[in-house]
Amino acid sequence: MNHLTIQEQTIIRQIVSETNKRNVDNISRTDAYFKYFKNHPDIIWSFLASMVSRNGGWNMCDLEGDIFPKLIEPQIRKKLFLTYERANWLIFHDVFPQLMLYHYSSELKRPMFHLLRYFNISAFIQKEWYRYWKENDKKRLTTALIINEQNVIQTPVIEHPVYRRKVFNSFLFYLQDWLHFSCVLFPTCGGEVYGASVNGFKSLSKRINLGKRLASILSHPRLFPYFFEFAERTPHTGSRFDYEQYFKIKTGRKTPLLRTTFPVIAHHQHQYQDWSKKRVVLPAWLYLPAHHHHTIHLTDWYYEKSNQLHLLLSLKQSLKFEEWK
């Protein structure tokens, strides 16, 4: 780094400090993404990341809510929490320096993306930032960031032997996948819920396709103001009460607050490998448009799934069903 200017060295230090400060837990990450989007509304991905991160927090808190503790063993719940948390942390660790370098580029009115290599950022997304600076193609950048971040978690989380054995090959995970319980939701203050479900979460291409579908829902001209209003008005706590409070049918708080439930996890970055040097970027990832096979309005679906979960719980309690391991 000796050949860098004092200004460049200062920028790198500031980015490292800011990233570490914001990458503490799911709440701090969610807030950081949304705050960034408000300062840089052209970076749609940052709003998407904030809303998906909210879902990550809700999924974490579900593990200690009114149903899952009665269905799933404590050690499995702990593994599931750590899986969500690890993926959450890795994505933020990778992407926030990118966002900050775009921020500094905008301030200085010149591209500073040559500094990306000091943060172990993939060659693929480095090129995409230069391209965005020249062409200002928001949709392409959003897609490229979705591709990059899903590839970032593929090897260290999805294919990690421990997570693969204990989480992704568990009976619970297959059941959840099959029943489409793993759904990314975009609520509104009017009590409506939109989104898309994740079926085949282990598949990299399916997760990228989901990301593109979610981006198209979030940026829909008619719906965007409602999602933004929700994000602006509703502090993220990790409890599903964040959006259930707006429902016509009042439910009361059934899942706890994240910061009163889970500890802060100290993460370690393992040896860095540039995924784009080992994996081919499929043309379909970049160029195939998002296609919705199912309705994106999920309010009724949400109530139905909630009823199904309660039904499963009743079934387990009545049959003393012990195969949830």
Residue 324 forms part of a structural domain? no
Task: Find the mean pLDDT for residues 170-180.
Answer: 57
Residue 207 forms part of a structural domain? yes
For position 151, what pLDDT does the model report? Answer: 97
Task: Find the mean pLDDT for residues 301-322.
Answer: 72
Average pLDDT, the chain: 90
Hey, which of 62-76, 220-234, 297-311 has the most confident mean pLDDT?
220-234
- Per-residue pLDDT for 212 more than 90? yes
The HSE-up count of residue 71 (CA atoms within 13 Å, CB side) is 20
Residue 223 forms part of a structural domain? yes
19-51 residue pLDDT tens: 999 999 999 999 999 999 999 999 999 999 999
83-138 residue pLDDT tens: 999 999 999 999 999 999 999 999 999 999 999 999 999 999 999 999 999 999 99
pTM: 0.93
Dihedral Cα 287, 288, 290, 294, nearest 10 deg: -170
Residue 148 forms part of a structural domain? yes
- Per-residue pLDDT for 271 more than 90? no
Residue 325 forms part of a structural domain? no
- Per-residue pLDDT for 57 more than 90? yes
How many Å apart are CA 158 and CA 138, to the nearest integer?
Answer: 28
Residue 193 makes CB contacts below 8 A (sequence gap 6+) with: 185, 186, 187, 243, 297, 298, 299, 301, 302
Could you list the residue range(s) of the whole structural domain that residue 156 is in?
A: 6-319
- Per-residue pLDDT for 177 more than 60? no
Residue 256 forms part of a structural domain? yes
- Per-residue pLDDT for 301 more than 70? yes
In this prediction, what percent of the chain has a pLDDT beyond 90?
A: 71
For position 217, what pLDDT does the model report? Answer: 98
Helix axes 44-62, 138-153, angle to 10 degrees: 40
For position 145, what pLDDT does the model report? Answer: 98
Residue 1 forms part of a structural domain? no
Long-range contacts of 225-232 (CB under 8 A, 24+ apart): 226/188, 226/189, 226/190, 226/192, 227/47, 227/51, 227/186, 227/187, 227/188, 227/194, 228/47, 229/188, 229/189, 230/186, 230/187, 230/188, 230/189, 231/34, 231/47, 231/50, 231/51, 231/54
User: How many domains is the chain partitioned into structurally?
Assistant: 1
Residue 285 forms part of a structural domain? yes
Amino acid at 253: R
